[in-house]
Amino acid sequence: MSLHELSLRELGEGLRAKKFSSRELTQHYLGRIGRHDPALNSYITVTADRALAQADAADARLAAGQGSALTGIPLAQKDIFCTSGVRTSCGSKMLDKFIAPYDATIVRKLDGAGMVMLGKANMDEFAMGSSNETSFYGPVKNPWDVERVPGGSSGGSVAAVAAGLAPVATATDTGGSIRQPAALTNLTGIKPTYGRVSRYGMIAFASSLDQAGVVARSAEDAAVVLQAMSGFDPLDSTSVERPVDDYVGALGASIRGLRIGLPKEYFAEGLDPGARACIEAAVKVFEGLGASVREVSLPNAPLSVPTYYVVAPAEASSNLARFDGVRYGHRAEGVHTLEELYKRSRGEGFGAEVQRRIMIGTYVLSHGYYDAYYLKAQKVRRLIYDDFRRAFGEVDLILGPTAQSVAIKLGDKSDDPVAMYLNDIYTIAANLAGIPAMSLPAGFHQDLPIGLQLMGNFFDEGRMLNAAHQYQQATDFHKRWPKGFA
């Protein structure tokens, strides 16, 4: 097997056994990026010199008998995380020349674990999008079909891992931006409980919804990295002070007796028959492993999309107000007044989708509309949370589709924002409730990947990851590679 086909555990074992060095492994991935990324556009910035320096440092640690299970293993960082001395663009012209002066907490944690940063992954501008077509640096292509989208906003992260241009990548999920692209590229992606992973140094889109996570080829790989990323951070006021469970150690447990709920609202009209068939086949696998399956109801789930597209733009309009051409970010030239500076800097620096969401958010927060829209959306958000709370009184995990269908063609929905927003119809509710959720490969339709979604109760990532791992022990979908990239 080639190096890029090995799991994180196998890579770690190979490094410690000196079958190959971190420098050799890093050079292998940098070589693949050079050969394959021009067709995919998964990276915004490749940090080759930094990566090789980190690899040499990792080799020195390993030679001294030190380091962790992740020491010497490369990764891609989504370009939403601040990385000291490296451009952090958030996929936007507004931050095209911004060099972060500090590291995000998860960057610092993964650096501390000895991981090697290959570069910064492409993404929808300010994480606003479901197809990775809103990036200032151009759309990312899906390795399974380069005429299709990889999903968004973490499209660069998933394309890099799916094509073997990184063994694992960080990502963020505000309304499904880890799970939906993972589903469309045959990967495992997990969004942990809100507050489980620090948001410090992650450029904010919607602060009450954003959560950092990971995309990998398997639940086992995701568990190893999530373990290193998680934990309380005093620098993040939304971080939860709670011990981190042993996600890796929990992977060997039987799921016999596990109670799985199927939300009837997720299997209604709109789900592609090919996707439905894959999910139904996956349910039988779980039953074969000893899990019990029953129907549950999330009656307010159909309200998730309109609720999200009031709450998220409202928070975005507040968060993005800091980009005004004065302190940092794009600054328009040849202006004569402060008002002109604001208008032109923001008009030139933000793309159409970001401007659209800022306008929506400003509108729903404005005098006369706050109660009618924003306050009402927050009340519905509570109802969605209550639905999950009741469901988890009956079952341990909730199972359903991640996306309505396979990946769409590039440009298919670019001119229809509402149709694009509906791509996240199955994923948004978990963000509104703050619960952990993940997507894992569940089969193929028309030779394109289909994803299965698992949702768990608060801080139940370990149980969720183990269920996914047991499913992957019984199936081989996650081991399949897109043609031309194996």
Question: What gap in Å lies between CA 425 and CA 403, rounded to an integer?
Answer: 8
Give the pairing of strands 397-401 and 259-263.
Answer: parallel
CB 144 within 8 A of CB 482: yes
**What's the per-residue H, E or C state across 49-63?**
HHHHHHHHHHHHHHH
> Catalytic residue among 21, 92, 153, 154, which?
153
Residue 442 φ then ψ, to 5°? -130, 10
CA distance 368 to 373: 9
Does residue 130 carry a catalytic annotation?
no
CA pair distance 69, 13, nearest whole angstrom: 8
In whole angstroms, give the CA distance from residue 116 to residue 306.
Answer: 40
Return the HEC string of the chain: CCHHHCCHHHHHHHHHCCCCCHHHHHHHHHHHHHHHHHHHCCEEEECHHHHHHHHHHHHHHHHCCCCCCCCCCEEEEECCECCCCCECCCCCHHHCCCECCCCCHHHHHHHHCCCEEEEEECCCHHHCCCCCCCCCCCCCCECCECCECCCCCCHHHHHHHHCCCCCEEEEEECCCCCHHHHHHCCCEEEECCCCCECCCCECCCCCCCCEEEEEECCHHHHHHHHHHHECCCCCCCCCCCCCCCCCCHHHHCCCCCCEEEEEHHHHCCCCCHHHHHHHHHHHHHHHHCCCEEEEECCCCHHHHHHHHHHHHHHHHHHHHHHCCCCCCCCCCCCCCCHHHHHHHHHHHHCCHHHHHHHHHHHHHHCCCCHHHHHHHHHHHHHHHHHHHHHHCCCCCEEEEECCCCCCCECCCCCCCHHHHHHHHCCCHHHHHHCCCEEEEEEEEECCEEEEEEEEECCCCHHHHHHHHHHHHHHCCHHHCCCCCCC
Catalytically annotated residue among 130, 135, 154, 177: 177
Catalytic-labelled residue, pool 21, 22, 42, 78: 78
C-alpha distances out from residue 415 to 134, 184, 350, Å: 12, 21, 17
- Residue count of the chain: 486
* 131 is annotated as an active-site residue: no
Active-site residue, 207 included: no
Instruction: Give the catalytic positions in this structure.
Output: 78, 153, 177
